[in-house]
């Protein structure tokens, strides 16, 4: 059934959604591993806010790595997708807010603005994917015959 001329099919196909979530999982795992194994390098290239604290960078890396693992698990488990993506969206939104508050502590104002915008876009993407995953889990979608 179409509502207001919009197609009733999925926004993303199951394989595309699974691959997108999996790719985000791999990205976060690689970022987390980088943060844990080379926190000084991560700080000097990416995390240049305030004073350097390599222990804290590695601690945050463990959280990023765990999120990546969660995304990879969610890629293959449709019931996990919405909660994992929603938590990620909240994390990114709070992270963006933190960057906005500390925008003047970045290496440059432009860097602070760009980091804040990228984190905001990440929050929007994760929230959108959570919405897509939730819509695809609705009973009317699951009962739909294959095309």
pLDDT digits (tens, 9 = 90+) for 22-39: 999 999 999 999 999 999
CA 54-118-31 angle, to 5 degrees, is 40
Neighbours of 139 (CB within 10 A): 7
Cβ atoms < 10 Å from Cβ of 21: 28
Tokens for 23, please give them.
């790719």
Mean pLDDT of 11-15: 89
Q: How many whole angstroms separate alpha carbon 53 and alpha carbon 57?
A: 6
Q: Which residue has better confidence, 147 or 100?
A: 100
Asked if 11 contacts 135 with a C-beta cutoff of 8 angstroms, the reply is yes
Which pTM was predicted? 0.84
């Amino acid at each position: 059934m179409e509502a207001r001329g919009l197609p009733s099919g999925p926004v993303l196909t199951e394989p595309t959604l699974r691959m997108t979530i999996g790719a985000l999982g791999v990205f976060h795992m690689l970022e987390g591993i980088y943060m844990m194994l080379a926190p000084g390098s991560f700080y000097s290239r990416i995390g240049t806010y305030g004073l350097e604290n390599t222990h804290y960078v590695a601690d945050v890396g463990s959280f990023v790595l765990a999120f990546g693992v969660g995304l990879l698990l969610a890629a293959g488990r449709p019931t996990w997708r919405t909660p994992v993506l929603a938590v990620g969206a909240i994390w990114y939104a709070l992270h963006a807010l933190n960057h906005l508050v500390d925008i003047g502590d970045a290496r440059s104002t432009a860097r602070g603005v760009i980091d804040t915008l990228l984190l905001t876009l990440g929050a929007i993407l994760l929230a959108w994917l959570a919405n897509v995953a939730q819509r695809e889990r609705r009973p009317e979608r699951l009962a739909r015959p294959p095309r």
